[in-house]
Amino acid sequence: MKMNPTQAFDYTFQAPGDSVIEITNILPFKASMEIREMAVNGDKQRALLLYKNWGNWLYQCADCAPSDTVTWSITITTNQQDAIDINEIPSQSTEPKQADKLPLEK
């Protein structure tokens, strides 16, 4: 089986200060993945690793207030970009959205 060459990919997005950022390699036995850099508002020290296993990494801002809007910058190296999934998980203090009020994708 021929493997794709490993490349670096940059992701930048905003999220509430108390959100958890989940990075998942959905094909951990096929796709290589390494988180090369993780920063909150440009500061690597503020990105706190909460949990890591074979295919998931959970991060949170170490000292952000829930009312803050922060910018996450992530550099990931992988040989299969479409196997990388990045999600923002709202904190429990955030009002949950009811499924019957969410727009459906077509």
Tens-place pLDDT, residues 38-91: 999 999 999 999 999 999 999 999 999 999 999 999 999 999 999 999 999 988
Who's near 101: CB < 8 A, 6+ residues apart? Answer: none
96 domain residue, yes or no: no
Closest alpha carbon to 11 in 78, 91, 89, 105: 78
| DSSP-assigned letter for residue 74 | E
Neighbours of 76 (CB within 10 A): 21
How far is 87 from 106, CA to CA, in rounded Å? 21
Contact of 74 with 36, CB cutoff 8 Å: no
64 domain residue, yes or no: yes
54 domain residue, yes or no: yes
67 domain residue, yes or no: yes
The pTM (predicted TM-score) of the whole model is 0.82
| DSSP-assigned letter for residue 68 | -
75 domain residue, yes or no: yes
In three-state secondary structure terms, 21 is strand
Domain of 81, CATH number, reads 2.60.40
105 domain residue, yes or no: no
| 3-24: average pLDDT | 94
60 domain residue, yes or no: yes
Residue 72 has what pLDDT? Answer: 97
102 domain residue, yes or no: no
In terms of residue numbers, what domain contains 46? 7-90
Tell me: pLDDT of 98 over 90. Answer: no
